[in-house]
Structure 1
Amino acid sequence: MSGDLTDVLDERRDDERRRAVRALLRSPLLTPRDRDYALVRRHAGYLGQWFPRETGWSLYTDPGVARLRKVPGDLSDGSRAASVRGGGARARLPFSRRRYVLTCLALAALERAESQITLGRLVDRVLMFAADEQITAAGIVFTMENRDERGDLVAVAQLLLSLGVLAKIAGDEQAFVNSTGDALYDVDRRVLAVLLATRIGPSLVETGDHDMRLSAVTRDLVPDTEDGRNRQVRHSIARRLLDDPVLYYTDLTPEQRAYLDMQRGPLLKRLTEATGFLAEVRAEGIALVDPTHEATDFGMPDEGTEGHATLLLAEYLSERLRDAAGATTVADAERRMTELITEHSGHWRKNTRDPGAERPLTAHALWRLEALGLVRLEGQVVTPLPALARFGYADPTIIGKRDDQ
């Protein structure tokens, strides 16, 4: 009886650990208001060893926050931007360059703020920092005098609210946009302090080249030994398997491909046992599939106009993939979207029948498909990738005939 009870307790513990890993993969920053925060805190010791060992990501926990300092396996992937709901639209709108700059300025202002701040006061401090000559020399100017700029700051506030940096006390952001009111927030300094997940402070990097700066602030310090290099390669592969929808062999360096060819079995075994994911190994690459959907922060939509349009465009591109038609253009995708609007106008939003509506619908669909590793966008060229084939419908195969046919 004691042995059976021990087995049950061990299985329960392992299941909780897998849930905690999935929770951190989905949301690398958790606070007590999040459902899985207590679970992560309970298994912080295990998680604090597993993540550094398997991925090179460190985990920080305290009574007010849990922060997994994730570093992307592919620094060139710009498809998964910060995003918030925009302007009453159902789609999430990716942040623009201006919004990212505003986010950094807002965080700098909050670092020097009191425990509470209004949106209007935050604007005043952001404008003060935005007057820096290096920012203006880069062509970025903020006045907050027009509705669009005020809307950008509200989007930043919504992002910080979702992360837990801010907690609303009173007021309304839309009233601020309309110049009819303001909003009051608590500032959570625990979350603010752990938000930055770089290896070194960006201000310590002297180069002005974007790619070099990004590489410098995320570079892991490893011993210049064979073991150190192997560990770095293993971490880079594990990060892409856990963080990216699909790992294509063609995207790997020769060193990474050689390591994966030799260590694929043990590596996938460790990752799947710790996460509960299922490994799909194909000729073109590997995908770790989450059957629970608990670690999936960004999936294929299936509701609303944008969701339906994205699925239908994915089907069109998958047909090109199966027919070996290869790459196409954004203009061709927009032409197909125009046909889809005509075909489904009866149950899509009315504004999709407006002139030019196919362009934003197509742009949103391609953005999502690229983020999911299903297409590659290079300028105006759209290349369907192998994983997109799962969204196609193959011709039926008749394996038998009824007597009455």
Structure 2
Amino acid sequence: MTTPLAEVLDGQHAADLRRAARALLGQPLLLARGRYADEFRLVRRHASELREWFDRNTGWALQVDAEAARLRKVPGVLTDPTHPARDATRGATPFTRRRYVLLCLALAALERGETQIALGRLADQIVLDAADPRLTEAGISFAMERRDERLDLAAVVRLLLALGVLRRVAGEEEAYVSGAGDALYDVERRILAGLLATRRGPSTVRADNLDDRLAELVEETALDSDELRFRAMRRALTRRLLDDPVVYYDELTDAELSYLTRQRGFLTARISQLTGLVAEVRAEGIAMVDPDDDLTDVRMPEQGTHGHVTLLLAEHLAAAEGPVTLDALALRVRELAAEHGGFWSKSAREPGMETELVEQAVSRLTALGLASRTSQGIVARPALARYAVGETVIREPGSAPVPSQRKAAP
């Protein structure tokens, strides 16, 4: 029996729409050229449906033109520090506070500048802007005379190149860092103009502390009716379900938990229909699991020494009673090196490397919602239970099955 053409076309349309949505969730800024050109064309073809879905369910605006598609994502948790910007080439090093300040100063200078700029000229403008008394009072200053400062600026430029804000015309960043040369860039002004994902301009924010300033940047219009308040909750919860590895019930307000309890099936079904994510609902929370495993910037388990160490420490933390200090984890890594070191890289077996291995493992576990940092140490979160190893029970042939000792994930 042949399938009607209409059903085939509907199925193809749904599959293409899903691919486009997943592309935007993985790369909220897609360029018409380069690595994601095919995904951009798919998003542009389905822009109307995607724009309506994201606006209704998340409050994220989608802007699509001939050069780029920009999904203006607002994170569900504004103060989450576990997914920093990273250097595009040098070991994916997380951005420091100074690099974030440099990024903001560079964007401001590019916005005021011409359509082409040399790296040295950009550095000079940043030095001038950094002389602002408000920055010096905060302990921020740049002279671009030290190599570490030039390395920080080069990392910022590499990020802007990866985002498509800059396009290299000549030269290399390494030449500028070493003082042996310069680099020249075209400035893609339309992409630069769409980079900021806020609901209001930063210059209009009046709050004093960082948390309040972040909240003011993205706050919605006055919620003066039940309908608007419910819409805001629906959007906030959908953002978290899409972005966060796990949404724990104990992290929600009473109103959010009540709404999620009533609307859980509706919210997860709409996400699943568009993205293909599958809801895993347990006693402590909800995780939208990706069967294709490509909608994440942090994976576990992962190949290599760091991935193996992280998996072994996850097992250790899952079995622990209460917080475990970083020193105790470092001691555990030294013990594990004696057992598994033959499978690890040579550098990981060197004395003193356990501290770095622990830090990378803990960063990965916290980014995935599997553990949290406290003043007492590292605490396992419920989702980490899937990595706990239960007791091995040897049964006689023909005996009844024994219930599994493996703990349940949330």
AA aligned opposite 1:384? A
CA distance in 1, matches of 2:261, 2:172: 55
CA distance in 1, matches of 2:339, 2:202: 50
Q: Which residue of 2 aligns with 1:61?
A: 64
Q: After superposition, where does 1:83-232 map in structure 2 within 5 Å?
A: 83-85=86-88, 87=90, 89=91, 92-232=92-232
Residue 3 of structure 1: how far off its partner (Å): 7.3
1:258 alignment partner AA: S
After TM superposition, the score normalised by the length of structure 2 is 0.91
Q: What amino acid sits opposite 2:43 in the alignment? A: V
Work out the CA distance in 2 between the residues paired with 1:342 and 1:392: 21
Q: Distance in 1 between matches of 2:79 and 2:16?
A: 34
- The residue that corresponds to 1:78 in the other structure is 81
Query: What is the Cα deviation at residue 39 of structure 1?
Result: 0.7
Name the Cα RMSD after superposition: 2.0
SS in 2 for 1:99: helix
**Contact between 2:241 and 2:287, CA under 8 Å: does it hold in 1?**
yes
Alpha-carbon contact 1:376-1:382 (below 8 Å) kept: yes
Aligned-pair CA distance for 1:368: 1.2
Distance 1:348 1:182, change over 3 A: farther
Q: Find the residue that maps to 2:71 and give its secondary structure.
A: strand
Task: Look up the SS of the partner of 2:105 in the other structure.
Answer: helix
Q: Which residue of 2 aligns with 1:364?
A: 360
- Measured in 1, the distance between the counterparts of 2:359 and 2:101 equals 23
Task: State which of 370, 374, 384 in structure 2 corresponds to 1:374.
Answer: 370
**Which ranges in structure 2 are unaligned for 5 or more consecutive residues?**
399-410
TM-score by length of 1: 0.92
Asked whether 1:312 is paired with 2:312, we answer yes
For 2:50, the equivalent position in structure 1 comes to 47
Q: Compared with structure 1, are the counterparts of its residues 145 and 301 closer, same or farther at alpha carbon in structure 2 (3 Å cutoff)?
A: farther
Aligned-partner SS, 2:143: coil
* Higher mean C-alpha deviation, range 23-32 or range 167-176: 167-176
Cα deviation, residue 354, structure 1: 4.0
2-structure distance, mates of 1:379, 1:19: 42
Shift of 1:220: 1.5
Shifted more, 170-179 versus 298-307: the winner is: 298-307
Note the C-alpha offset of 1:218.
1.2
Distance, in Å, in 2 between the alignment partners of 1:137 and 1:18 is 49
Contact preservation (8 Å) 2:323, 2:376:
no
Cα distance per residue 1:60-107 (max 9 Å; x no partner): 1111111111111112211111112564x4xx2211110000000010
How many residues get paired?
396
- The alpha-carbon deviation at position 20 of structure 1 amounts to 1.1
Q: Deviations over 1:256-275 (max 9, x none)?
A: 11011111111111111111
CA offset at residue 122 of structure 1?
A: 1.3
Residue type at the aligned position of 1:25: L
For 1:156-175, what per-residue CA distance to the aligned partner results, in whole angstroms no more than 9, with x for missing partners? 11111111111222322222
Distance (whole Å) between structure 1 residues aligned to residue 168 and residue 298 of structure 2 = 26
Once the two structures are TM-superposed, the CA of residue 381 in structure 1 deviates from its matched residue by 1.8
Q: Which of 364, 380, 383 is the aligned partner of 1:387? A: 383
The SS at the match of 1:60 is strand
Return the structure number with greater relative CO, CA threshold 8 A, min gap 6: 1
Return closer, same or farther for 1:341/1:155 CA change in 2, 3 Å cut-off: farther
Q: CA deviation at 1:181?
A: 2.4
8 A contact 1:16–1:39 mirrored in 2: yes
